[in-house]
Structure 1
Amino acid sequence: MSLAIIDDDFMVCTDCLMIIANDDASGLDYSLGEEEAEVREHEILEAIAEIQREEGQIAVGDSGKDDEFSSSPCACCGTRLAGARHHCVLLGDSRER
């Protein structure tokens, strides 16, 4: 299978980026209580799994395309909380597109 960028405008929140980039959700502990952090991590992991099952692999993109402040929903978890959005890409089978 040959992977290609199938979406070059996949903007995610900081919470999702931590997990996509580092498979690490420990940063959630700084802003949420223990139970809330666990729930949030589960929500994000489910969103990532669904996207990767339905669309393709999520990869960290170009930090130069990050948006310091946005009210757009996160393309991964869907949060509508305003804040930074980080550029990621979706990679998929180039033969399917």
Structure 2
Amino acid sequence: MSAEAATQWVLKLHENEELRREAEAAGSFEDRQALARQHGFEFCKEEIEDAFKADDELSDDDLDAVAGGSIAMKEANKRAKTEAFIAAASSVAAAM
């Protein structure tokens, strides 16, 4: 059991609407825990409660960054480079 697994489960529920609905339909904590276990996530009740509390404190951007990891960083860097290129091109065009 691990807090990390609980956090990853919460993120998976954000990413997968069908799975989230299935978890919401589960009647008890034990049923939800069994569903998570089927998907490779082991955690105790306290760990998942803490993960959901932390999730409530995260913004959508925070969740995207955590869920996407380095992919989110690469996309942010790509956007920044594109914006810098457009700004430089606009400056050159204005000088002409």
Tell me whether the two structures share a fold, i.e. TM-score over 0.5: no
TM range (shorter): under 0.3
Larger fraction in helix: 2
Tell me the TM-score normalized by structure 2: 0.28
Larger fraction in strand: 1
Q: Which has the larger radius of gyration?
A: 2
The higher relative CO (CA closer than 8 Å, separation ≥ 6) is in 1
Tell me the TM-score normalized by structure 1: 0.27
